[in-house]
Amino acid sequence: MRVRVTTALGLTAATLLALPACSTEAKPAATPSVRAGNPAAADQVGAPLSPTALEARLLDEEDLGSGYTRTPERPARHQDVTVLGCPALNELGGDAATGGSLDFPRTAKTSFTYTGGRSSQVSEELYSDTADRLSDGTGRIFDAMTGCPEYQVLTGSTAIAVTTQKTTAPRLGDEQWSLLLTLSAGGQDSVVKQTAIRTGTVLLIVSGTPALVDRHLDTALAKATATR
């Protein structure tokens, strides 16, 4: 499966399209659990994991606690996407504004709505490939996004103004990336946080309402990198 850099968010395109109507309100993050650190599980430093193995490592309602409902997977939509005001994203290759694509053939993803906060959402993506490919691909996308503090995304008939801010990622795994995006569309603003952690041949990305990303990152990483 190819991970497209469409809609300029690349790694979490679905989040961008789903959240413009969401509130930016969220409850304060709960006290983080003990962090997973840098696991030495053999399968994290060896061969990439299969999609089936990744699927088993995704968060579920039991991991998250009460108030979370799994969001049904949206049918794939192929819309023309144009990125304005961020040449670095276009320079990633591929068909101009839709950007290039990165070969992360092994992937699994899920998303949830939190009823405890108005329209709060959190999504998780797991990818597996060689450590070098995950590092290079993820780094290039995050560098391009944070290198453009303001740009616009046109998808179908929807125009979304995006501002980005690089944030300090927790010192977990082998590499870390984190940013905040403010999305403005139809007179509404939403703030989305994306944090990515690479541990060996597994890449974890948690996105959504900032407080929920912070609250569940440790749990997601522990499950994603657990020895099976």
Domain ranges for the chain: 2-30+40-149+166-224
Give me the chain's average pLDDT, please.
Answer: 76
Q: Average of pLDDT values for 64-92?
A: 78
Q: With a cut of 70, say whether residue 79 has pLDDT above it.
A: no
Q: What is the pLDDT of residues 158-170, one digit of tens each?
A: 888 999 999 999 9
Share of the chain above pLDDT 70, in %: 69
The pLDDT confidence band at residue 141, using thresholds 50, 70 and 90, is confident
Query: What is 91-109 written as a DSSP string?
Result: TT-SSGGG--EEE--EEEE
Residue 11 confidence (pLDDT) = 35
Contact status, residue 25 vs residue 211, Cβ threshold 8 Å: no
Residue 72 confidence (pLDDT) = 85
Q: With a cut of 80, say whether residue 172 has pLDDT above it.
A: yes
Q: Which of 67-76, 111-120, 172-181 has the highest mean pLDDT?
A: 172-181
* Strand 68-70 relative to strand 2-4, pairing: unpaired
- pTM score: 0.78
Q: What is the pLDDT of residues 2-58, one digit of tens each?
A: 333 333 343 334 344 343 333 333 333 333 333 333 433 434 457 899 999 999 999
The type of residue at 70 is R
Residue 144 confidence (pLDDT) = 86
Q: With a cut of 90, say whether residue 59 has pLDDT above it.
A: yes
The pLDDT confidence band at residue 92, using thresholds 50, 70 and 90, is low
Residue 87 confidence (pLDDT) = 85
Q: With a cut of 60, say whether residue 197 has pLDDT above it.
A: yes
Residue 117 confidence (pLDDT) = 59
**Structure-token pair, residue 224:** 């994603």
d(C-alpha 213, C-alpha 182), whole Å: 15
Return the H-helix or E-strand segment holding 202.
strand 202-208
Q: Whats the size of the chain, residue-wise?
A: 228
- Beta-carbon contacts of residue 144 (< 8 Å; ≥ 6 apart): 86, 88, 89, 91, 92
Query: What is 28-53 written as a DSSP string?
Result: PPPPP---------HHHHSSPPPHHH
d(C-alpha 48, C-alpha 131), whole Å: 9
Q: With a cut of 80, say whether residue 132 has pLDDT above it.
A: yes
- Beta-carbon contacts of residue 14 (< 8 Å; ≥ 6 apart): 74, 111, 123
Which architecture, in CATH terms, is 2-30+40-149+166-224? 3-Layer(aba) Sandwich (3.40)
What does each C-alpha distance from 17 to 47, 61, 158 come to in angstroms?
A: 33, 23, 9
- Position with higher pLDDT, 46 vs 218: 218
Q: What is the pLDDT of residues 105-117, one digit of tens each?
A: 899 999 999 987 5
